[in-house]
A = this chain, B = another copy of it.
Amino acid sequence: MNLSLSHSSKKEDLSAYSKAKRDRIVKAALETFLQYGYKGTSMNRVAERAGVIKQTIYSHFNDKEGLFVAIIESLTLEHFRGQFGERIASPEAPETVLRKIAEVFADRQKDKSYIALMRTVVGESSRFPELARLYVNTVIKPGMKILTDYFDAHPELNIKDPEACARIFCGSLVSYIMTQEILYGKEILPFRMERLADNLIELILRRSSKRN
């Protein structure tokens, strides 16, 4: 189980015909793994969904685990690039910056494939710890660093512990998504994310917000 990011193995030097097949397999496998989990996904299903014969999968990937790992690589690299840092570069007011970051989480909350990804990453973290580490390295770590750096670069905010503050900010929002969306808490404990974000921003900036 080698989830290294560098040598994506075969992917170059393939005919367009072959590459198209490979892409369809990756896409079908991604959807299926995210929907049913690793053990719940059968190679037959993936082949059927990809409109491909099972042998074609085994000509591109060694085995089921190899396919799973390749899928995860493609996922994290594809989905989580930039998206976070872009919204923070502008020289706007801190309230605005933090609110824009909160919007990133709001977008994730609505993204079913992201919800499915979190379910899978957490659910398979025991059997595929490398998947969890990959997620931490490519999603959590960069995201946390951007926010920490922002707090560091703005001493006028009087943030005593920027890293702890970044963890509180992101953690509250992640946990909100976890409870409300992944665990269906929105049916049981309804709560608007905007209200959470308002209170979070007010706490961190130590100001009073205009809303209740």
Binding site for B on A (CB under 8 A): 35-37, 39-40, 116, 118-127, 129, 132-133, 135-137, 140-141, 144, 160-161, 163-165, 167-168, 170-176, 178-179, 182-185, 187-189, 191, 195-196, 198-200, 202-204, 206, 212
| Least CB distance, A139 to chain B, in whole angstroms | 10
- Interface on chain A toward B: helix, strand, loop, or mixed SS? helix
| Least CB distance, A132 to chain B, in whole angstroms | 4
| Least CB distance, A162 to chain B, in whole angstroms | 10
Assess A133 versus B184: contact at CB under 8 Å? Given A40-B39, A167-B191, A168-B203. yes
Complex CA–CA separation, A191 to B183 (angstroms): 26
State whether A188 touches B122 (Cβ < 8 A): no
State whether B160 touches A167 (Cβ < 8 A): no
Extra pairs beyond A122-B178, A141-B189 (16, CB < 8 Å): A35-B126, A37-B126, A118-B122, A119-B122, A119-B123, A133-B187, A133-B188, A136-B188, A136-B189, A140-B189, A164-B195, A164-B198, A168-B200, A168-B203, A172-B175, A178-B178
